[in-house]
Amino acid sequence: MVFIHNINPVLLHIGPIEIRYYGLAYVLGFILGYYILRYLLKKKNIGMSEDEYDSLVVYIAVGLLLGSRIFYFVFYNFGMLLDSPLQFFRIWEGGMSFHGGLIGVITAGWLYCWKFKKDFFALADLAVIPVILGLGIGRIANFINGELYGRVTSLPWAVDFGDGIGRHPSQLYESAKCFLIFGILWFMKNKELKKGTLFWTFVTLYGLFRFFIEFVREPDPQLGFVLFGIFTMGQVLTAIMVIVGSIMLWKLYKP
């Protein structure tokens, strides 16, 4: 039996303003991330004033938004940006690249640590924990939006996203993957580990799980398969994540 996806992505209207689940998911992820990271920083006794912490959150938020949007339009939908440059600012309509967001956050975090004289990996090891939780919530919003859906399937949990065809709810697979990684990192955070372990574990696990989920996710229509006729852009980028993350973990713990 196929589930018919007819969820309205708009929760309510306030005059001309739309309150969308997509935006609320990012707000919820941001709020949870704000308090979880502050809790972790205090627990690890990483000295940081309230003003410094608020600055860190701003750096991360700006890096996430700019990185994810720029990367999405450059690698996934450059034609749309050329046709309608203002589309860049319509984040409520979707179009956020995880890989760009990761690069944006890393860049912003490095700039923050350089300016405020902080240890990058000491912060990165903790920051990835709320970040992956927020990503899991965001993928649920993708499901509500009916975007980034999966390939055709006859499995009993198939979803019809409006084209009369049962498809994998790959957004929910992605969300479950993020929550699983969150659980792993949360368990690891109290272990005696070398700096950078949690960060590179996050990079490796995310890339590994995402690579295999891409086999049941519909390729971006404007790109299709970009390598050997079977691999998507997401798989190319996540394969790089797995390789780099694995090498860095090996370098941390090699004899």
**For the segment 181-230, what is each residue's pLDDT rounded down to a tens digit?**
999 999 999 888 999 999 999 999 999 999 999 999 988 766 666 677 78
Average pLDDT (138-154) is: 89
C-alpha of 120 from chain center: 20
**For residue 92, is pLDDT > 60?**
no
H-run or E-run covering 127? helix 120-145
Structure tokens at 226: 């970009």
- Measured distance CA(136)–CA(150) in Å, rounded: 17
The residue range of the domain holding 107 is 3-253
Average pLDDT (155-183) is: 94
pLDDT, residue 223, reads 65
- Measured distance CA(81)–CA(75) in Å, rounded: 11
**For the segment 25-63, what is each residue's pLDDT rounded down to a tens digit?**
888 988 998 899 999 988 888 878 888 888 988 898 888
Q: Tokens 């992820």 label which residue?
A: 29
pLDDT, residue 167, reads 94
pLDDT, residue 159, reads 94
Which of 65, 180, 63, 188 has the alpha carbon at shortest distance from 125?
A: 188
Mean pLDDT of the chain: 86
- 206 in Cβ contact with 198 (< 8 Å): no
- The number of distinct structural domains making up the chain is 1
- Residue 18 β-bridge partners: 13
Residue type, 207: G
User: pLDDT confidence of 19, banded at 50, 70, 90?
Assistant: confident
Helices 21-43, 120-145: inter-axial angle, 10-degree rounding = 160
Percent of all residues in the chain with a pLDDT value above 70, rounded to a whole number: 88
Higher per-residue confidence, 74 vs 36: 36
